[in-house]
Amino acid sequence: MALLLCAARSEPSASPESPAAASRGVERQAFGTTPAGDSVDVFTLTNEAGMSMRVTNYGGIILSLRAPGRDGRADVVLGFDALDDYRSDAYAASSPYFGALIGRYGNRIDEARFSLNGTTYTLDANNGPNHLHGGEPGFDERVWRADPFERADSVGVVLRYVSPDGEAGYPGRLDTEVTYALTDDNELVLDYRATTTKATPVNLTQHSYFNLGGEGTGTVLDHELTIDAEAFTPVDSTLIPTGTVRPVAGTPFDFREPTPIGARIDADNRQLGIAQGYDHNFVLARQDRDTLRRAARLYDPDSGREMTVLTTEPGLQFYSGNFLDGSLVGKRGAAYGPHAGLALETQHFPDSPNRPAFPSTILRPGETYTSRTVYRFSVRTDPP
Ligand code: BGC
């Protein structure tokens, strides 16, 4: 085991689940070797409060995230302990993108093509006729350069990946940098930066599936969700936005007040039928990229765990884990069935390169793509 950074500033508070939690710092260990022969590492980040997170530079995958609750810490993200589990045939067949960094384009692009400055670009069609999450392999299967750090208020790792000109069909070389910082206030702060050599669409996101009761302990249908959106973008039968922006008022998509996810998921609603639940982009209450604003809040009444999502992005894809079918078995040995976890993916809207009315995703040479998302963890002490 290579101990890279580990400044023992204080002992974390004891918890029933992790009595031997490490000191504040970042620990680096070998995680395995990819089929291409690249060795990858796993980084264990532990903050002052004893919250910890394991992340690998293979796909930037968050392997575990142990967040505090009324009765101690629990691992609140779906996934596996071993690299091979992220490379199995069963995993490839269901493509859940557990915990991974997504690029170059989070979400779908219609018929896997777009036109820019008079040129039509053809992308990998890896989701029916459409392009999903940057194609295969996307950024979720790339080996990122990793530089761990320890700062006054956080510990973390900077991941860098250079996507060559033409990769997956996209124009321009994209120099990408994603910083994961775990603050001493129990915030996971994600900072994205990218530059390009040619105009190209960019829409980076993080694809963790959360279950605040603990991964493998059941579904998220009892979790209460708030989304700060007045509208969402309805989709066609292949989950591509139709182009309309529909008010949530009076629909099962109205999460402006905290609402259990399961309360309306089986409602007779065409949009819920198409996606077998929620798998939709919510239009957040503002469109500028400069301010970090609350996008959502998720609360598990049983454990008291609460997660607040803040972002500079204009959209939030709420995916209620509809296509998890029990074929993948997670860290505690439980099969992940429908709604075993949910994703709250901060991003620009799906298919924006083909939708001029949506906020633009085009990055041009000389510009720097920047985006910030915060997942803030807290505990409500009031009993359920
Ligand atoms: C998409 C889903 C997809 C899932 C896993 C989500 O971001 O919205 O449609 O099934 O990723 O690939």
Each residue's pLDDT tens digit in the chain (384 positions)? 334 444 333 333 334 444 455 799 999 999 999 999 999 999 999 999 999 999 999 999 999 999 999 999 999 999 999 999 999 999 999 999 999 999 999 999 999 999 999 999 999 999 999 999 999 999 999 999 999 999 999 999 999 999 999 999 999 999 999 999 999 999 999 999 999 999 999 999 999 999 999 999 999 999 999 999 999 999 999 999 999 999 999 999 999 999 999 999 999 999 999 999 999 999 998 756 678 999 999 999 999 999 999 999 999 999 999 999 999 999 999 999 999 999 999 999 999 999 999 999 999 999 999 999 999 999 998 754
Cα 157 to Cα 49, 177, 196, 216, 259: the distances in Å are: 18, 10, 22, 27, 35
Ligand 1 pocket: which of 133, 203, 210, 233 to mutate (most atoms within 8 A of CB): 133
- Spatial distance between the Cα atoms of 353 and 236, rounded to a whole number of angstroms: 17
Residue nearest to atom 12 of ligand 1 (CA): 96
What does the pLDDT read at residue 9?
36
| CA of residue 338 to ligand 1 center, whole Å | 13
| CA of residue 279 to ligand 1 center, whole Å | 7
308 by Cβ neighbours in 10 Å (0-12 / 13-18 / 19+) ranks as middle
| CA of residue 171 to ligand 1 center, whole Å | 24
What does the pLDDT read at residue 288?
63
Preceding amide of 104 cis, omega within 30: yes
Residues 121/169, Cβ–Cβ less than 8 Å: yes
What does the pLDDT read at residue 21?
56
97 lines ligand 1 (CB under 6 A): yes
